[in-house]
Structure 1
Amino acid sequence: MYKNLTIICEKILQYTIIILLSGMVIVVFFNVIGRYFLNAAIAWSEEVSRFMLIWLVFLGAILAYINDEHLGLDIVVKSIPKKAAKVIAVIADLLVLYAITIILKGGYSITMESWDWTSPAAAIPYAYVYLIVPISGAILFLQTILKIIYHIKALFMREASDKVQGKEGVSC
């Protein structure tokens, strides 16, 4: 279940990032062409490309989280017993869940407060820009729940099989 949901989420995110990056490249390219060859810049292009970049960063952060590619210090985790490392993984996941909850609440608040505030050149409500915070927060929340379930299952499933087989150590 964890892998299926993760794969589906990952594919949707990848295609969304491809579309956003392509759109950003097209907008910036046409603005450069217009500015240098036609002496007419597209007024909203800088804002829209910046908004797309913001969405790209948040969506990329989700992909990095799903694939465990965020920067982390694993020196301590590698130097302790495997069972303790698994317990630390669950605790770390719970702390991440708490942080994501704070981000989710703050993102929702700022999105709701900014529907009437529009960007100067593109006249896009800033709520559409900030909407990525609660969206990414919700996806990260779901992914963290799935990781917690996965880590708890790994902790207890392996522990049970070790007792049956008479092993003392627990491996990942």
Structure 2
Amino acid sequence: MGQGNENDRARPHATSIAVEPEQTSIADIRWIDAPGILVFWVLAIVVFLQFFTRYVLNDSLAWTEEVARYLLILVCFLGSVSAVKRGSHIALEFLMRMVPPACAKALSVVSAVITCGIYGTLTWIGIELTQKTRQKMVTLPVPKAWIYTICVVALAVMTAYAAVWAWRKLRRSPGQLVADLDRHLTTD
């Protein structure tokens, strides 16, 4: 009888999975990733313009700092949509690997439901904030409500994806959920 490694003995429900690292290519980018990537490149151009005008021309453009700040916020929210879609936000996965599969499933489902609730609550608060905001940017005549609206839409999409993840976890058997967790941990 062959001996397993220490992890297999410590965790009887562990599965041995030989997985090669995934290769990321441009084909992995989906339409849902496009807004975040686009805003990221606009941010890169604005920051370069800010650097160039400040340190090369010695005459900084006033609007670049404020625009860069808001673009960074948008990159955060739009990038989070991609992370929620892939299920790649951080979680206490080590705890789920230490408990029996049934308990791991319960923890995973509860975590997904809480996450969905937080995104939904933030969406609601964001809608209220957007409706109350009447200010414009200091340096440009752009209403701040437009930026908040993009953030709220991103939060609503994150809520929808989180609900899908919660539903998937609820439907999986405990053994399948643990195998998925192991596969996720070995490929990321």
Classify the TM-score, shorter chain: 0.7 to 0.9
For 1:124 and 1:13, the matched residues in 2 are separated by: 25
SS at 1:131 equivalent: helix
Question: In the alignment, is the contact (CA less than 8 A) between 2:77 and 2:155 conserved in 1?
Answer: no
Q: Which residue of 2 aligns with 1:122?
A: 140
Question: In the alignment, is the contact (CA less than 8 A) between 1:101 and 1:141 conserved in 2?
Answer: yes
Say if 1:82 and 1:156 are closer, same or farther in 2 by CA, change over 3 A: closer
Question: In the alignment, is the contact (CA less than 8 A) between 1:104 and 1:134 conserved in 2?
Answer: yes
Partner AA of 1:142 in structure 2: A
1:44 aligns with 2:59: no
Partner AA of 2:39 in structure 1: L
Q: What displacement does 1:125 show?
A: 0.9
CA RMSD of aligned residues (A): 2.3
Question: In the alignment, is the contact (CA less than 8 A) between 1:62 and 1:139 conserved in 2?
Answer: yes
- Where do 1:1-172 residues align within 5 Å? 11-114=30-133, 116-155=134-173, 172=180
Higher helix proportion (structure 1 or 2): 1
For 2:131 and 2:151, the matched residues in 1 are separated by: 12
SS at 1:96 equivalent: helix
Task: Give CA deviations for 1:4-44 in whole Å, capped at 9, x if unaligned.
Answer: xxxxxx72242222211211121222233233444432221
SS at 1:118 equivalent: coil
Q: What displacement does 1:171 show?
A: 5.4
Tell me, which stretches of 5 or more residues in structure 1 are unaligned? 1-9, 159-169
Partner AA of 1:132 in structure 2: I
Task: Give CA deviations for 1:144-168 in whole Å, capped at 9, x if unaligned.
Answer: 121122112213896xxxxxxxxxx
For 1:91 and 1:24, the matched residues in 2 are separated by: 36
For 1:90 and 1:37, the matched residues in 2 are separated by: 54
| 4+ runs deviating over 6 angstroms | none
Q: What displacement does 1:101 show?
A: 1.7
The structure showing larger relative contact order (alpha-carbon pairs under 8 Å, at least 6 residues apart) is 2
Question: In the alignment, is the contact (CA less than 8 A) between 2:85 and 2:161 conserved in 1?
Answer: yes
For 1:123 and 1:41, the matched residues in 2 are separated by: 19
Number of positions where the alignment pairs a residue of Structure 1 with one of Structure 2:
151
Question: In the alignment, is the contact (CA less than 8 A) between 2:87 and 2:165 conserved in 1?
Answer: no
Tell me, which stretches of 5 or more residues in structure 2 are unaligned? 1-28, 181-188
Q: What displacement does 1:108 show?
A: 0.5
